[in-house]
Every structure is written in structure tokens, then in C-alpha cells.
């Protein structure tokens, strides 16, 4: 990672690399997602596909924090939980339609992002990771102990996305797919925006960024809030899909799995993170036939993948292409 | 570039089609003349992984017995077990897998919290669900037509506990739970029972964090209230530690555990001396039912292991399911549910079976056990 590639000596991009940098690939992936139910639409297939899609949303949210901005967050499930619980509570106790809870969820998760980000973003690396780890546990334990959140059994009877009756799984899958596709696109655009460039700058060198006039604290806070909102909206989808949520879904393992998806796919790379999330959520299901050994095999596969490809399945490549390179060459 | 995109789509589509072949094959197996599949979601991994095999074996034993007698309506029974890991998301995926495999009845369900989201799924697909172990009252509060509980509810266990505390002459009772759905349910209901005038009083109602190894802080705060009876409603791992540490702290009063702690490991963890004389609220097990020794012997012969918690309930769940299908004359979910509602006096381990209008047992069948010479034995049948 630290070695600067020597442009002159590097061979031209291989076919695989060119394919991986193809801008239409996102559309192709979406098309695959759209076509899939025509091929297989058993309740089980729809269920794991929907779970995978929701997991993609989570991973893309965490990618904003970890991948773009370089802030290690070990408690991302907290935002997922805040989103799921906010929408679940409003929908069941106040009988709001689920879609109407979305603005409330955005406010609640942004608030949660500020609460955790406010005091902690002055910390760096390891210390930040420890605090976020604690925050994740705090949120879960609060949900476990409060009466209003239903304690350990959680909330049940959450309506579907479009009304009281739980929708057809195929309809729900399409709704989730479209929402998540938009979210992924937005996150990718955000990563290339002025804010996104500032995030990457902070990730590479915080002091240099500060010296160049980037308000690092505010920038980091923005990353946190954006990540929190993505996570919260994934929580809404999760609540709608399962119709019941309980603290058992928001353990440290969940946070770790999302982080794993981001790292496995390639930090900061949107297609990588999407692939990573799909792999992480589908692999345990594909290995289901191995019964007791499935998590063992899952772990071994992950370790092998990280040894063979430590930069991630689909690492981020700087968009500093010919034009920028030429410009820096002129000066 | 467009060609590449098209190629990618086609490639992915081919992959998907090959995956679909599997799915179709999987559902091909079931038709009206083949074996009747019963599904079971139990924890085979995760923190409750110990329980899964007990339940699976219990169910398998009933299935083999029924098949040896010719099956149900001339059709053999078949058991499909999926791992739920006590995690809601995994459990929902597992339930969907069973639904896709067209099971006739679901006979699984251990962790109440993660079983909850699977109920509407089974109900929507008209698959009756006979839950052998999970017993939180929330499971039946949704009043789903196809959901039945054959384990005693928290309500019934709490009532049994309070009645035994009164009988045993307890004055001040401390209730401890581990904040899981099941444990908290029993604890708060017991506390409510203790708050009623007459009988023993409540000294404390406290929660501990499961998975720790030192509970001295909780124990010190409980002992400050000077209880002469402590009731633990969680699982055996923490129960054993708490009992041991209570005794080490100089507590000499009575100790009782809920059914989740009734396991030989409780005595092992607490130590023979500390565990001696500890009570437990428990549904009847083959150990404590006279004349059921043969069942245990059969189980041991078949699986080479002792039956554990919920082996009997799972065994019963399969038998009740078979009874329902026989009475309904087929596997139509609505008819089976009706037949289950109509069951009256079908013999299961906890006594003659009859469902209440809420689809719970009309008779919880809780008894009091005591640890004597390092093993749980029947103390009082609370009849």
C-alpha cells in the first residue's frame, strides 16, 4: 500500500482490471438483482436475497465512515439498531405507516451520530475504535433493558413497507433492491464529491488536511452522520423484513460482520464493498449444508481470502487518471 | 463496453439458473404420496448450540417410532432440521428454507426472541407450528391461528414457583434473572406473585449479565436485602456460578432454579456440596415420571447419550403433530390446526394434553425437583 507504483514501468491494465473499472458494471449488477427473482423465487431464496441487499446497504454506510474517512467504527450495529427500533416503535406503538417513520429515523440516527461523534471524534484510531465498541454495546444493552423497546424479546408485529399486511416477499425484495441501489449510488457520488475528497484527505493525512484548510472535525462528523443515516435506513428495511426485532440482532458480531464486508471487499471502493457484503451475507447460507462446520469453514474461507488478496476483492483505485497525472507532471 | 455489460448479465444469469436447478430439485421431493416432512429450527451453533442435538434426537426418536408403526395415513414421516443459532435473522432464513421445502408442520423453536419473527412466516404459509421449548407469553399474544406451545408458559412456572415458596415456608425471596426474554418473563411474573398479600415477600428482583464469571457484585447487593430464598430463572451456566458464589458469600438459605437450569452441569459448576438441597421448577421429565425409565434407556441406546433439556418436549411435539395430521386426514394447515385445537386428553409427558383458547397447555405440569446426592430428583408434584 505504501509503495508508490512506478507509472512508467507498470504494464497496461489487464482485461480484468479494465472490466473492473467499467462504469456500466453497477447497472449490470442491478440488472442481475432485478432478473434474479424470475429465475428463483422460493421464499428461502427471496429471504436470503433480501437479507443480502439490506446487508449491502449497511456495508455501504459503514464504508463512508471506515472506507472514505478512515475512522474505525466497531459499533456500527448501534445505528442499525437505532434505525430499526425507531421505526419499529413508531410503527407499532403509534401505528405510523413504516414509510412515514423514515424522516424520524433519519433525525434519530443523525442525532445518534452526533451524540457518539461529538465527544469521540477528537480521539484517534485505536481510542475511537474502543469508544465506538462501547457505544455499540450500550445501545444494545439499553434496548435490552428498557420497557418501551420490549426488553429482551424486542418488538414484534411491525408492518410491511407498504401497509399493515406483510407484503409479498418478491415485492418487498424489489422495493428493497431499488432503495438500496439508490443508496449505493448516492454513497458513491458522495465519495466523489467535494466532501468525499475531503474525507479521503483526512484518511490519508489528518494533519496535512487540517493545514490545507479542511475543517477535519466537521468533516469527520459529516462522515459519521452520513454513515449513521445509511445504517438507520438499513434498520428500517430490516425491521420491515423480519417484522420483529430484538437486541439479539444487534450484537458485536453484527458490527464485526459489516466491518468484515467492508474490509473484504476493499475499503473505500463501492463495488468492492457491495461484493463484500453479498459474499459475507450469502456465504453462511451457502455453507448451511455443512451444519456444525459452517462457521468454521466460513472463517477459514475469510482468512484464506485475506491472505490471498489482502487489499480486498475489489480494491479502490484512485481516480487520478491520465488527466490529473498529466497536470501534476506539468507543474 | 456495452458488450461487456451484456456479457456480465448473461454470465450472472447462467449462474443464477444453475442455482435455481437446486431450488427446484429441493421442492420436487414433496408430493401428496411421498413422506410427510416435519421441520425443526433449533440452535446448532452459537451460545445455545448444546440444546439443538437434544431436541433433534427427541424428535427423531418419535419419528422413528411412528414410522415403525407404519407412519401417518400410510405415509412415512421425515425430519428436516435447520440451524437457527438463536439469532433472529438466521432463524428467519432457516424458517424460509423449511417453508420452501414444503414442510407440513414445524416442531422447532427454542429461543423465544428469535422464534418470534418466524411465527408470522409459518402462519402466513398455513404451516402449523408446535413449539416444544420456547415459552415466552409473547409467542401466543399475537393470537396466530397456527401457533401452539407445548411447553409450560412462564406464567405457569411462576405460579408453581410461588406456590412452592409458600409451601416451603420462605419469608423473603430474592428473584434473579439474566435479562433474556424467557428468564425475565418468569422472574417478573414470580415477583408479581410475591407482591400479592399473603405468602412470602419479595426481597429483590435483580438482573445479571449472562456470560460473566464473577457475580459477587450482584450477590452482595442481593444479600443486603437479607433473603432466605433465592430463585434463579436463567440458564445453568450462570446458575451454577451464582449458587456457588452465594454459598461462598455465606448465604445459608434456600436456592431454587427455573427449568433452563435443570441440567447436570449446574451441579458440576456449583459443586456437589453447594448444590445439595437446591430446588428447581421443572416440567416432568422421564427421570421424574414413574415408569418412563424405558424411554430414557431407548434414547441412550439409540443416540449413545443422555437425553437433555427439551428432548421430551420435542418428542411430544412430533407425536402431537402426527396426531393432528391423522385427525385432520391430511396435511392441510388449516385442518391440522383445527384438529390440534380439538385434541383432548392426548397423553404427553406433562400430562393429558388439551390446548387453551390461547393455544398453550391447559396444564403446565410443573413439579418441584431437589438436588439429592448430586442429582435432580422429584420433591413435590404440586398436585
Contacts of A140 in chain B (CB under 8 A): none
Q: Quick one: cell of B43?
A: 440452535
Contact yes or no for B97 and A288 at CB 8 A: yes
Q: How far apart are CA A60 and CA B162, in angstroms?
A: 52
Mean pLDDT of chain B: 85
Contact yes or no for A24 and B2 at CB 8 A: yes
Confidence class for position A2, pLDDT limits 50, 70, 90: very low
Confidence class for position A7, pLDDT limits 50, 70, 90: very low
CATH superfamily name and code, B155-287+367-380: Response regulator (3.40.50.2300)
pLDDT tens column, A217-262: 899 999 999 999 999 999 999 999 888 888 888 989 889 999 989 9
Q: What percent of chain A stands above pLDDT 70?
A: 87
Q: How far apart are CA B210 and CA A86, in angstroms?
A: 26
Contact yes or no for B111 and A48 at CB 8 A: no
B144: closest chain A residue by CA: A157
DSSP 8-state class, residue B259: G
Helix ranges restricted to H, chain B: 2-28, 51-68, 88-100, 112-115, 118-124, 138-141, 154-167, 181-195, 216-223, 236-248, 264-270, 272-275, 293-303, 311-328, 333-342
Checking if the pLDDT of B15 tops 50, the result is no
pTM: 0.80
Contact yes or no for A44 and B112 at CB 8 A: no
A286: closest chain B residue by CA: B19
Checking if the pLDDT of B20 tops 60, the result is no
Per-residue pLDDT, averaged over A270-276, amounts to 91
pLDDT value of position B24: 32
Strands of the sheet containing B366-372, edge to edge, are B201-207, B172-177, B229-232, B254-257, B279-283, B366-372, B375-380
Domains identified in chain A and CATH numbers: 15-330 (1.10.3470)
Per-residue pLDDT, averaged over A203-212, amounts to 90
Contact yes or no for B45 and A153 at CB 8 A: no
pLDDT tens column, B111-166: 888 888 899 889 988 999 999 988 777 888 888 899 999 888 888 889 899 999 99
Q: How far apart are CA A132 and CA A120, in angstroms?
A: 8
Contact yes or no for A157 and B179 at CB 8 A: no
Check if the beta carbon of residue A136 is closer than 8 Å to that of residue A231.
no
Q: How far apart are CA A231 and CA A136, in angstroms?
A: 13
Contacts of A241 in chain B (CB under 8 A): 92
Q: How far apart are CA A76 and CA A262, in angstroms?
A: 12
Please report how many Cα atoms fall inside a 13 Å half-sphere around the Cα of residue B178, on the Cβ side: 22
| Nearest residue to B108 via CA among B313, B267, B285, B269 | B313
Checking if the pLDDT of B9 tops 50, the result is no
pLDDT tens column, B71-83: 888 899 999 999 8
Checking if the pLDDT of B30 tops 60, the result is no
Confidence class for position B365, pLDDT limits 50, 70, 90: confident
Confidence class for position A274, pLDDT limits 50, 70, 90: very high
Q: Quick one: cell of B143?
A: 393470537
Contact yes or no for B179 and A145 at CB 8 A: yes
Q: How far apart are CA B180 and CA A151, in angstroms?
A: 8
pLDDT value of position A292: 66
Per-residue pLDDT, averaged over A271-293, amounts to 84
Checking if the pLDDT of B21 tops 50, the result is no
pLDDT value of position A90: 93
Interchain contact A311–B (C-beta under 8 A): no
Contacts of A292 in chain B (CB under 8 A): 44-45, 49
pLDDT value of position A22: 67
Per-residue pLDDT, averaged over B175-194, amounts to 88
Chains A and B: how many Cβ contacts under 8 Å?
131
Interchain contact A293–B (C-beta under 8 A): no
Contact yes or no for A45 and B27 at CB 8 A: no
Confidence class for position A331, pLDDT limits 50, 70, 90: very low
- pLDDT-wise least confident of A15-19, A90-94, A283-287: A15-19
Check if the beta carbon of residue A56 is closer than 8 Å to that of residue A274.
yes
H or E stretch covering B147? strand B147-149
pLDDT value of position B291: 63
pLDDT tens column, B280-335: 998 877 766 666 778 888 899 999 988 877 888 899 999 999 999 999 988 899 99
Contacts of B45 in chain A (CB under 8 A): 292, 294-295
Q: How far apart are CA B60 and CA B77, in angstroms?
A: 10
Q: Quick one: cell of B105?
A: 408442520
Q: Which residue has the cell 420490549?
A: A150
The answer for A 66-125 residues in CB contact with B (under 8 A) is: none
Q: How far apart are CA A184 and CA A271, in angstroms?
A: 9
Three state DSSP letters for chain A: CCCCCCCCCCCCCCHHHHHHCCCCHHHHHHHHHHHHHHHCCCHHHHHHHHHHHHHHHHHHHHHHHHHHCCCCCCCCHHHHHHHHHHHHHHHHHCCCCHHHHHHHHHHHHHHHHHHHHHHHCCCCHHHHHHHHHHHHHHHHHHHHHCCCCCHHHCEECCCECCECCCCCHHHHHHHHHHHHHHHHHHHHHHHHCHHHHHHHHHHHCHHHHHHCCCCHHHHHHHHHHHHHHHHHHHHHHHHHHHCEECHHHHCHHHHHHHHHHHHHHCCCCHHHHHHHHHHHHHHHHHHHHHHHHHHHHHHHHHHHHHHHCCCCCCCCCCCCCHHHHHHHHHC
Q: Hey, how many other C-beta atoms are within 10 angstroms of the C-beta on A67? A: 30
Q: How far apart are CA B71 and CA B64, in angstroms?
A: 9
Q: How far apart are CA B279 and CA A27, in angstroms?
A: 64
DSSP 8-state class, residue B35: P
- pLDDT-wise least confident of A54-58, A101-105, B141-145, B147-151: B141-145
Domain boundaries, chain B: 36-151+310-349, 155-287+367-380
- pLDDT-wise least confident of A45-54, A82-91, B239-248, B308-317: B308-317
Confidence class for position A166, pLDDT limits 50, 70, 90: low
CATH number of B36-151+310-349: 3.40.50.2300
pLDDT value of position A318: 64
Contact yes or no for B113 and A153 at CB 8 A: yes
pLDDT value of position A119: 82
Q: What percent of chain B stands above pLDDT 70?
A: 90
pLDDT value of position B13: 46
Are B36-151+310-349 and B155-287+367-380 the same fold in CATH?
Answer: yes
Confidence class for position B176, pLDDT limits 50, 70, 90: very high
Checking if the pLDDT of A118 tops 70, the result is yes
User: When comparing pLDDT for B28 and A186, which is higher?
Assistant: A186
Q: Name the pairing type of β-strands A155-156 and A244-245.
A: antiparallel
Contacts of B97 in chain A (CB under 8 A): 44, 288
Interchain contact A20–B (C-beta under 8 A): no
pLDDT value of position A308: 87
| Nearest residue to B328 via CA among B68, B125, B4, B105 | B105
pLDDT tens column, B34-63: 899 999 999 988 777 888 899 999 999 999
Q: How far apart are CA B230 and CA B243, in angstroms?
A: 9
Confidence class for position B18, pLDDT limits 50, 70, 90: very low
Amino acid at each position: 500500500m505504501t509503495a508508490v507504483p512506478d507509472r512508467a514501468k507498470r504494464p497496461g491494465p489487464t482485461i480484468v482490471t479494465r472490466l473492473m473499472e467499467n462504469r456500466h458494471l453497477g447497472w449490470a449488477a442491478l440488472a442481475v438483482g432485478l432478473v434474479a427473482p424470475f429465475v428463483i423465487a422460493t421464499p428461502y431464496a427471496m429471504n436470503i436475497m433480501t437479507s443480502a441487499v439490506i446487508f449491502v446497504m449497511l456495508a455501504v454506510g459503514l464504508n463512508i465512515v471506515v472506507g472514505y474517512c478512515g475512522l474505525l467504527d466497531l459499533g456500527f450495529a448501534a445505528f442499525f439498531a437505532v434505525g430499526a427500533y425507531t421505526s419499529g416503535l413508531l410503527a407499532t406503538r403509534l401505528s405510523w405507516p413504516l414509510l412515514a417513520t423514515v424522516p424520524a429515523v433519519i433525525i434519530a440516527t443523525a442525532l445518534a451520530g452526533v451524540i457518539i461523534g461529538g465527544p469521540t471524534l477528537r480521539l484517534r484510531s485505536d481510542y475511537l475504535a474502543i469508544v465506538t465498541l462501547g457505544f455499540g454495546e450500550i445501545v444494545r444493552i439499553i434496548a435490552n433493558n428498557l420497557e418501551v423497546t420490549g426488553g429482551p424479546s424486542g418488538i414484534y408485529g411491525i408492518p410491511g413497507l407498504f401497509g399493515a399486511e406483510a407484503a409479498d416477499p418478491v415485492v418487498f425484495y424489489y422495493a428493497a433492491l431499488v432503495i438500496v441501489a439508490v443508496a449505493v449510488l448516492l454513497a458513491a457520488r458522495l465519495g466523489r464529491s467535494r466532501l468525499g475528497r475531503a474525507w479521503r484527505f483526512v484518511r490519508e493525512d489528518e494533519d496535512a488536511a487540517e493545514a490545507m484548510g479542511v475543517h477535519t472535525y466537521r468533516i469527520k462528523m459529516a462522515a459519521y452522520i452520513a454513515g449513521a443515516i445509511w445504517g438507520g435506513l438499513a434498520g428500517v428495511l430490516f425491521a420491515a423484513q423480519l417484522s420483529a426485532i430484538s437486541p439479539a440482532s444487534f450484537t458485536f458480531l453484527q458490527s464485526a460482520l459489516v466491518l468484515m464486508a467492508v474490509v473484504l471487499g476493499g475499503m473505500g471502493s463501492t463495488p468492492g464493498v457491495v461484493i463484500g457484503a453479498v459474499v459475507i451475507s450469502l456465504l453462511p447460507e451457502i455453507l448451511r449444508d455443512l451444519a456444525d462446520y459452517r462457521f468454521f469453514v466460513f472463517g477459514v474461507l475469510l482468512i484464506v481470502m485475506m491472505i490471498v488478496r489482502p487489499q480486498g476483492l475489489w480494491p479502490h483505485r484512485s481516480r487520478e487518471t491520465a488527466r490529473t497525472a498529466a497536470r501534476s507532471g506539468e507543474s | 463496453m456495452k458488450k461487456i455489460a451484456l456479457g456480465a448479465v448473461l454470465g450472472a444469469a447462467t449462474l443464477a439458473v444453475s442455482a435455481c436447478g437446486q431450488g427446484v430439485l429441493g421442492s420436487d421431493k414433496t408430493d401428496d404420496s411421498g413422506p410427510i416432512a416435519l421441520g425443526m429450527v433449533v440452535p446448532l451453533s452459537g451460545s445455545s448450540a448444546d440444546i439443538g442435538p437434544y431436541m433433534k434426537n427427541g424428535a427423531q426418536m418419535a419419528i422413528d417410532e411412528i414410522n415403525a408403526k407404519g407412519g401417518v395415513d400410510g405415509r412415512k414421516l421425515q425430519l428436516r432440521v435447520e440451524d437457527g443459532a438463536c439469532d433472529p435473522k438466521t432463524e428467519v432464513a432457516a424458517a424460509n428454507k423449511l417453508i420452501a421445502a414444503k414442510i407440513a408442520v414445524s416442531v422447532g423453536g427454542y429461543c423465544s426472541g428469535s422464534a418470534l419473527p418466524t411465527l408470522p412466516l409459518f402462519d402466513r404459509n398455513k404451516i402449523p407450528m408446535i413449539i416444544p421449548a420456547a415459552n415466552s407469553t409473547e409467542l401466543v399474544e399475537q393470537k396466530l391461528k397456527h401457533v401452539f406451545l407445548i411447553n409450560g408458559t412462564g406464567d405457569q412456572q411462576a405460579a408453581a414457583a410461588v406456590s412452592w415458596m409458600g409451601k416451603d415456608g420462605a419469608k423473603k425471596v430474592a428473584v434473579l434473572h439474566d435479562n433474556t426474554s424467557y428468564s425475565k418473563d418468569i422472574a417478573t411474573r414470580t415477583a408479581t406473585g410475591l407482591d400479592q398479600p399473603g405468602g412470602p415477600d419479595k426481597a429483590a428482583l435483580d438482573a445479571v449479565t449472562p456470560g460473566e464469571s464473577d457475580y459477587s457484585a450482584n450477590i452482595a447487593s442481593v444479600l443486603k436485602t437479607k433473603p432466605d430464598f433465592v430463585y434463579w430463572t436463567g440458564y445453568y451456566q450462570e446458575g451454577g456460578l451464582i449458587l456457588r458464589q452465594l454459598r461462598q458469600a455465606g448465604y445459608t438459605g434456600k436456592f431454587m432454579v427455573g427449568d433452563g437450569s435443570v441440567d447436570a452441569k449446574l451441579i458440576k459448576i456449583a459443586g456437589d456440596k453447594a448444590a445439595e438441597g437446591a430446588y428447581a421448577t421443572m416440567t416432568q421429565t422421564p427421570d421424574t415420571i414413574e415408569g418412563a425409565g424405558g424411554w430414557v434407556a431407548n434414547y441412550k441406546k439409540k443416540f449413545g447419550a443422555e437425553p437433555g433439556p427439551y428432548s421430551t418436549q420435542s418428542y411430544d411435539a412430533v407425536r402431537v403433530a402426527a396426531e393432528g395430521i391423522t385427525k385432520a386426514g391430511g396435511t392441510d394447515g388449516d385442518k391440522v390446526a383445527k384438529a390440534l385445537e380439538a385434541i383432548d386428553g392426548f397423553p404427553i409427558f406433562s400430562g393429558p394434553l388439551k390446548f387453551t383458547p390461547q393455544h398453550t397447555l391447559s396444564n403446565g405440569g410443573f413439579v418441584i425437583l431437589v438436588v439429592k446426592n448430586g442429582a435432580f430428583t422429584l420433591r413435590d408434584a404440586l398436585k
